[in-house]
């Protein structure tokens, strides 16, 4: 996070807890939730000193109330920060996010607030948990995994992928810089033809 601040990156989303992680042993889940709570409390001063705004996406169900309180307190304390937006995906699943967006749009259609013919990509994006945030440019996948694991399924449609065999706890600033350097060398076509650099 601090390296992203130094590099001038505006948005960083970290996958903290997947909605599928509830299938893991209770002891592991308890540890992950304690770690999340500890992080969200211990890093508050760092967030403030680095002008970082914290937002959280995902479902609150299943997250212990004491963890929710600490998350809410951090989000509130950093709400007016104007630097990096640190988005924490907690109890998050891309498919669930898409279903929630579809339900919200369907409700507006049913109430006559929205015509089906007016639904476009912008309408859909505005009903996602990440409404108001740009789509990611770069998706970094650690541990050598070659899957997106239900992460930001709509938003990453044109993200560049970068995979490392290094596991998340060992991912450091040097690897982040390497990923960004590799990303900067790529030609992004968004479905079009490659254009020679001028």
What does the pLDDT look like over 75-101, one tens digit per residue?
Answer: 999 999 999 999 999 999 999 999 999
pLDDT of 2 reads 96
pLDDT at 198 over 70: no
Is 22 one of the annotated binding-site residues? yes
126 by Cβ neighbours in 10 Å (0-12 / 13-18 / 19+) ranks as middle
Is 147 one of the annotated binding-site residues? yes
- In this prediction the pTM is 0.91
Beta carbons within 10 angstroms of residue 172's beta carbon: 11
pLDDT of 197 reads 54
Is 149 one of the annotated binding-site residues? yes
Rounded-to-integer distance, Cα 22 and Cα 161, Å:
26
Rounded-to-integer distance, Cα 154 and Cα 95, Å:
9
pLDDT-derived band at 4, boundaries 50, 70, 90? very high
Contacts of 47 (CB under 8 A, 6+ apart): 53, 54, 74, 77, 78, 81, 86
Mean pLDDT of the chain: 95
Q: Which domains are assigned to the chain? A: 1-92 (3.40.1180.10), 93-133 (no CATH), 134-186 (no CATH)
Per-residue pLDDT tens digits for 111-151: 999 999 999 999 999 999 999 999 999 999 999 999 999 99
pLDDT of 194 reads 65
Rounded-to-integer distance, Cα 120 and Cα 118, Å:
6
Question: Which is higher by pLDDT, 53 or 17?
Answer: 53
Q: State the catalytic residues.
A: 21
């Amino acid at each position: 996070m601090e390296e992203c601040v130094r590099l001038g990156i505006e948005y960083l989303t970290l996958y903290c807890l997947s909605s599928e992680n509830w299938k893991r042993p209770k002891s592991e889940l308890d540890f992950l939730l304690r770690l999340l709570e500890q992080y969200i409390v211990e890093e508050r001063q760092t967030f403030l000193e680095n002008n970082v705004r914290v937002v959280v996406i995902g479902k609150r169900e299943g997250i212990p109330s004491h963890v929710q309180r600490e998350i809410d307190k951090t989000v509130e304390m950093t709400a007016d920060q104007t630097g990096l937006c640190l988005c924490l995906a907690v109890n998050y699943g891309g498919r669930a996010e898409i279903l929630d967006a579809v339900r919200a749009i369907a409700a507006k259609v049913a109430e006559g607030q929205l015509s089906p013919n007016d639904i476009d990509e912008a309408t859909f994006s505005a009903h996602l948990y990440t409404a108001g945030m740009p789509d990611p440019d770069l998706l970094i996948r650690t541990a050598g995994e070659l899957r997106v694991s239900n992460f930001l399924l709509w938003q990453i449609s044109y993200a560049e992928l970068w995979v490392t065999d290094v596991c998340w706890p060992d991912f450091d600033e040097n690897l982040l810089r390497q990923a960004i350097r590799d990303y900067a060398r790529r030609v992004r076509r968004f479905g079009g033809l490659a254009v020679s650099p001028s």
